[in-house]
C-alpha cells in the first residue's frame, strides 16, 4: 500500500486480519491504555501466562510523532525506532492511528508496518505534508498472548509503569481484557493517563514550564527558547526535578534508573530519526 493510501484510507485499511483479494494490508490494531494504579502488574503477568502468554521482553522505543496531513482523517502518524539490545540492529515501524478520544467504550485503532529505510520514510512523510511534532522515548516490557494480542508495560521518563492492551480485532481485544480480569478504562482513567496530567499529579510539575508542552523555564534575566522539536526523553528530564513541587528526588531516581536501562538497550551506532543528538 502506498503511503498516501495508508494515511487516507482508514476504513479500507481496517479489514481485520487483512483478508481479501487485493494487496496485502497490515491488520488494524485496537488498544486500551491503563494508567498506573489502575492495575496490578504481577497479577496481569500471572493471568497473561495462564492465557498462554510468554515471558516479558524489554524494548526501548524512540517515537517520532508527526502531525497528520490535513484531510487525511488520521489522528497521528508515528515513526518508531525499536531497540532490543546493543548486539541487535534497531528496527523501524511506521504507524497511523485513528480515533480514540474519551468514552469508556472508545478505543484507538492503528495500522502499523515495518520500514527498511527510516530516513526515506521520514522524507516521504514530510513530502506528504506531515509536520514533525515531538519525540518521546519509553521503556516497554511486552507479553505476547498467542491468539489474543499483547500486553505492554510502559515507562515514560520519570514515571511509574502504565499499560497497554492491544489486539488485531475488537473481539480479540474484548476477550483479552476479560482474560486479564480487566474492563475498558473509564473516562477518568483515560484523562489521568495523559502524560502531562501524570507529571502534574505525581510531582506537581506545571507542564507549561517543561519545554515539552510549553517553553522551558529559564533563569531570571534570560529568555526561554522553545526547541524546534520538543523531546520527552530520558536525557531531557534531567532538569525536571527542579520544576517539581514535590517528590523531585523520586523523579530523579526513577529517571536515572531508566536512563541506565535505555543505554543498555540502545543499538550500537544508532543514528536513526527521532534520536536526539547527544
Mean pLDDT score of the chain: 83
Residues 42 and 123 in one domain: yes
Q: Are 44 and 180 in contact (CB under 8 A)?
A: yes
Whether residues 171 and 204 share a domain: the answer is no
First to last CA, the chain: 35
The stretch 91-103 carries a mean pLDDT of 79
Shared domain check, 34 and 171: yes
Contact assessment for residue 33 and residue 185, using Cβ atoms and an 8 Å cutoff: yes
Q: Mind listing the pLDDT tens digit for each residue in 141-154?
A: 999 999 999 999 99
Tell me, yes or no, whether 71 and 164 share the same domain.
yes
Range of the domain at 159: 3-186
Residue appearing with cell numbers 478504562: 185
CA distance 72 to 207: 29
In angstroms, the CA 92 to CA 185 distance is 29
Q: Tell which wins on pLDDT, 278 or 148.
A: 148
Contacts of 229 (CB under 8 A, 6+ apart): 132, 133, 134, 135
Q: Which of 120, 133, 23, 159 is nearest to 77 (CA)?
A: 133
What is the rounded distance in angstroms from the CA atom of residue 21 to the CA atom of residue 191?
41
Domain presence at residue 103: yes
Query: Does 108 score more than 90 pLDDT?
Result: no
Residue 162 lies inside a defined structural domain of this protein: yes
Q: Please, are residues 182 and 34 in contact by the beta-carbon 8 Å criterion?
A: yes
- Residue 218 three-state SS: coil
Q: State the cell numbers at 176.
A: 483479552
Does residue 159 sit within a domain? yes
pLDDT digits (tens, 9 = 90+) for 229-265: 799 999 999 999 999 999 999 999 999 999 999 999 9
Helices (H) and strands (E) in the chain, counts: 8, 9
Give dist(CA 177, CA 182) in Å, integer: 5
Q: Is residue 278 part of a domain?
A: no
- Residue 275 placed within a domain: no
Within-domain flag for 271 = no
**One domain for residues 179 and 225:** no
Together in a domain, 151 and 208: no
Q: What CA–CA distance (Å, rounded) separates 160 from 277?
A: 26
Query: How many CB atoms sit inside 10 A of residue 195's CB?
Result: 18
Asked if the structure places residue 24 within a domain, the reply is yes
Q: Is 276 left (phi over 0), alpha (psi -120 to 50) or beta?
A: beta
Question: With bands split at pLDDT 50, 70 and 90, how would you rate the model's confidence at 107?
Answer: low
What burial class does residue 230 get, using C-beta atoms within 10 Å of its C-beta: 0-12 exposed, 13-18 middle, 19+ buried?
Answer: buried
Verify that 212 and 96 share a domain, yes or no.
no
> Given 132, 164, 186, which residue is the final one in a domain?
186
How many structural domains comprise the chain? Answer: 2
Mean pLDDT along residues 211-220: 63
Alpha helices in 181-244 (DSSP H): 187-192, 195-203
Burial class (CB in 10 A: 0-12, 13-18, 19+), 146: exposed
- Structural domain contains residue 88: yes
* Domain end residue (candidates: 137, 163, 186): 186
Residue 24: predicted pLDDT: 57
CATH number for the domain harbouring residue 96: 2.40.320.10
Amino acid at each position: 500500500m502506498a503511503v498516501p493510501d495508508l494515511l487516507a484510507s482508514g476504513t479500507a485499511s481496517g479489514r481485520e486480519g487483512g483478508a481479501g483479494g487485493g494487496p496485502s494490508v497490515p491488520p488494524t490494531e485496537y488498544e486500551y491504555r491503563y494508567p498506573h494504579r489502575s492495575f496490578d502488574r504481577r497479577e496481569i503477568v500471572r493471568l497473561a501466562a495462564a492465557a498462554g502468554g510468554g515471558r516479558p521482553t524489554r524494548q526501548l522505543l524512540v517515537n517520532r510523532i508527526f502531525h497528520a496531513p490535513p484531510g487525511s482523517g488520521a489522528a497521528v502518524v508515528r515513526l518508531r525506532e525499536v531497540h532490543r539490545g546493543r548486539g541487535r540492529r534497531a528496527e523501524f515501524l511506521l504507524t497511523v492511528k485513528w480515533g480514540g478520544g474519551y468514552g469508556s467504550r472508545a478505543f484507538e485503532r492503528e495500522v502499523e508496518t515495518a520500514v527498511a529505510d527510516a530516513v526515506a520514510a521520514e522524507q516521504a512523510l514530510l513530502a506528504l505534508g506531515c509536520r514533525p511534532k515531538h519525540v518521546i522515548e519509553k521503556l516497554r516490557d511486552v507479553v505476547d498472548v498467542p491468539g489474543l494480542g499483547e500486553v505492554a508495560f510502559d515507562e515514560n521518563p520519570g514515571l511509574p509503569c502504565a499499560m497497554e492492551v492491544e489486539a488485531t480485532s475488537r473481539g480479540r481485544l474484548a476477550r483479552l481484557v476479560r482474560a486479564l480480569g480487566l474492563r475498558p478504562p473509564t473516562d477518568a482513567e483515560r484523562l489521568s493517563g495523559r502524560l502531562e496530567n501524570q507529571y502534574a499529579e505525581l510531582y506537581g510539575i506545571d507542564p507549561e514550564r517543561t519545554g515539552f508542552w510549553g517553553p522551558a523555564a529559564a533563569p531570571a534575566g534570560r529568555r526561554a527558547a522553545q526547541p524546534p522539536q520538543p523531546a520527552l526523553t530520558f536525557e531531557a528530564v534531567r532538569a525536571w526535578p527542579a520544576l517539581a513541587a514535590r517528590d523531585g528526588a523520586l523523579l530523579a531516581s526513577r529517571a536515572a534508573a531508566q536512563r541506565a536501562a535505555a543505554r543498555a538497550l540502545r543499538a550500537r551506532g544508532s543514528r536513526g530519526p527521532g534520536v536526539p543528538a547527544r
